[in-house]
Amino acid sequence: MIYKCTFGGEYTSEECSAIVERWEGHAISQLSELSEDRHTELKELLYFRHVPRTGGRTFHQCLLRNLYPREQLSNHSYDKLRFNAKSHCRLLVSHDDYSILSTLPVRSISIVTNLRHPVDRVFSAYEFTVEVAARFLRPTLRSKVDALKASKMASSTLMIWPWSIFVPWMRDDLYERGKHRISSAQEKTSPEGFSNYNASAFVMPFHDFIHQHLVTDNIHNGEAFQIAGLTSNSYTKGAEKIRRCIVHHPHLGAHILNVAKMRLDKMIFVGLTEKHEDSAKAFAHIVAKQIHAREEPIISTTERSPSAVSELRNSASDNTTGFAKQALTVDGLIRAYEKCSGRLRSIQAEHRIVSLKHSLPISFSKEARLGVPEQILEEIKKLSALDLDLFEYVQHRFKQQSSVYNSSQNNISQQHATRNLTTEINIIKGQNMINEGLQRGFGYTKLVLISVLYLMAIGVVVSIGKFVLSARRPAR
């Protein structure tokens, strides 16, 4: 089969094979730059490879940001990379794909990421795109966007890949559908039998969304392309060419998966969105203990909301003494994550309701997803076959990580139980020793008391005897 590519030229299956295999060989050779302890030892820089719509915001704000003091956090890099190798940066977070490592000191980096089941991720991408686009339909928000763009350091959703592509596209689609409703005098409210995922009068239906070119190029197999470093936001030369080859010759996807899996194996931790709490706990034990070993304090945000984190960091970074006082144990870090993530989910749910309430008569939820036909879900699995394969691979790896974590937890529990048992035994021994001592002490006291009484009795007898003798003597 021969097809014309948007990047120019015609490529047969054989030519695409050569292109993809050449890239694979180069990518594998670069893996040798990573040290063998990459998956266990925390390096100087922790890079969170944030795959969009995998719960990365919660993982970042409620866990990762609490690991280091404010001055060791890199500037916001979601819209563009802001990393200074000369600074003391210890944490970097961005939506960039794996190819960003070509601009970073790779030997000094530990990488962490989260992956999600592709069907849920596609749902989430659709819902988020519609939600944010609906926000920017309102004129007051449009003016705010203009103000944000005027600021060099400002970073909004419209400036962050891939939403910088999706949100304007969906906003325009919503606007056109709104104009059509007005011109045809359609109802602004939802009719009976209304489906939130098939409301064509108000928003692009979900089954249309999944077949759009933008979605094929940026969402389907997006996790695999992120780890492979081949997204539309890639530093890799010829990334678009390789993606097109994969789309038209799916069997070549095996090369993408091979590289992606090898790279995942080199990461210090890979979590699952579906197991976000377990992921946070396991990661905290793996990384936080290493930070503790270096005598680096962990910031406490247990009683702080996500919006107040910066205030805490500012006050904490003013002096190291104050900062150290707010250090957390690993268990404290996990408790802080649980509180923060719960609040953040509530805030996000409120934003979603407000965004749609004033613009669209629709509501997205896990319950509403159940109404989407199974046929559409199967289509997503086919369109995201690489992501599905990668997700299953990561599930197996996560079980291994969890088994190590659970084993260590069991050992800790056994150690605690042993310590507690030893303590109880020592307490009992101590009590016995005290009792024996008391018994010995009481016996000694009793002996002394009897001796004293005996001596006193002898004294009394002697005194009486003297008195009797003196009484019997004749008077002179």
Are 320 and 312 within 8 A, CB to CB? no
Q: Is the pTM of this model over 0.85?
A: no
Q: Rg of the Cα trace of the chain?
A: 35
End-to-end CA distance of the chain: 157
Q: Which residue's entry shows tokens 């819209």?
A: 79
pLDDT the model gives residue 6: 44
pLDDT the model gives residue 93: 92
pLDDT the model gives residue 9: 52
pLDDT the model gives residue 151: 42
Question: Pairing state of beta strands 45-49 and 109-115?
Answer: parallel
Amino acid identity, position 298: I
In this structure, the number of other CB atoms found within 10 A of the CB of residue 60 comes to 17
Q: Please state, in angstroms and as integers, the Cα–Cα distance from residue 182 to each residue in 169, 173, 192, 236, 267, following that order.
A: 20, 14, 20, 46, 53
Backbone angles phi, psi at 111, to 5 degrees: -115, 140
Residue 71: both structure tokens together = 């001055």
Residue whose C-alpha is closest to residue 249's, from 16, 81, 8: 16
Q: Where are the chain's structural domains?
A: 3-412
Alpha helix positions (H), 211-319: 213-218, 222-228, 239-248, 253-265, 276-283, 289-293, 309-317
pLDDT lower than 70: segments of the chain = 1-10, 34-39, 75-87, 138-155, 185-194, 292-328, 404-455, 457-476
In this structure, the number of other CB atoms found within 10 A of the CB of residue 417 comes to 10
Residue whose C-alpha is closest to residue 69's, from 245, 325, 357: 325
Residue 90: both structure tokens together = 């210890």
Question: What is the torsional sign of CA 437, 442, 447, 449?
Answer: positive
Amino acid identity, position 291: I
Q: What is the pLDDT of residues 400-457, one digit of tens each?
A: 877 766 665 655 555 554 555 555 555 555 555 545 554 555 455 555 565 566 667 6
CA distance 380 to 375: 9
* DSSP code at position 285: I
Residue whose C-alpha is closest to residue 130's, from 181, 162, 167: 167
pLDDT the model gives residue 128: 95
CA distance 299 to 54: 25
Q: Please state, in angstroms and as integers, the Cα–Cα distance from residue 218 to each residue in 99, 157, 204, 380, 385, following that order.
A: 16, 16, 17, 14, 14
Strand blocks (E) in 106-190: 109-115
Strand order in the sheet with 91-94: 91-94, 45-49, 109-115, 269-272
Q: Please state, in angstroms and as integers, the Cα–Cα distance from residue 363 to each residue in 127, 353, 358, 387, following that order.
A: 9, 7, 12, 27
For 167-183, the DSSP string reads HHHHHHHHHHHHHHHHH
Residue whose C-alpha is closest to residue 23's, from 232, 246, 265: 246
CA distance 156 to 173: 20
Q: What is the pLDDT of residues 364-379, one digit of tens each?
A: 999 999 999 999 999 9
CA distance 84 to 82: 7
Residue whose C-alpha is closest to residue 157's, from 219, 83, 95, 202: 95
Residue whose C-alpha is closest to residue 39's, from 206, 408, 286, 367: 286
